[in-house]
Amino acid sequence: MTVTIWHNPRCSKSRQTLALIEGRGIRPQIVEYLKQPPSREDIARVVKLLAIAPIELMRRGETVYKELEIGVRPLGDDELIAAMAANPVLIERPVVIANGRAALGRPPENVLDIL
């Protein structure tokens, strides 16, 4: 089984989720998404796997969210995905991908269903 985590080591939820995965004896592929941003295609695939709208994968409290006026003006899904690809800080974390499924580790226990 291949498990991938979009990880931010500075985020407590991301660290907790990684520890939870590793505590199950799983060695995930760790992608520090702020250093290695996912492509538009990767983000679109994760949004589909999560069965959510792209806006639901966005961190609304980030400065760039406000600067891009994302909550103010209407944007289509492609524009939202492009914004996350260009500004990965907008991506909610952590995202775990396993077994053709994805889960958002908020709370970390959310990922247990896909492992």
Task: Show which residues are catalytic.
Answer: 11
The reply to whether omega before 88 is within 30° of 0 (cis) is no
User: Any long-range contacts for 69-76 (C-beta under 8 Å, 24+ apart)?
Assistant: none
CA distance 73 to 54: 15
Three-class SS state of 32: strand
Task: Give the pair of three-digit tokens for residue 79.
Answer: 């524009």
Q: What is the DSSP string of 74-110?
A: ---HHHHHHHHHH-GGGB-S-EEEETTEEEE-SSGGG
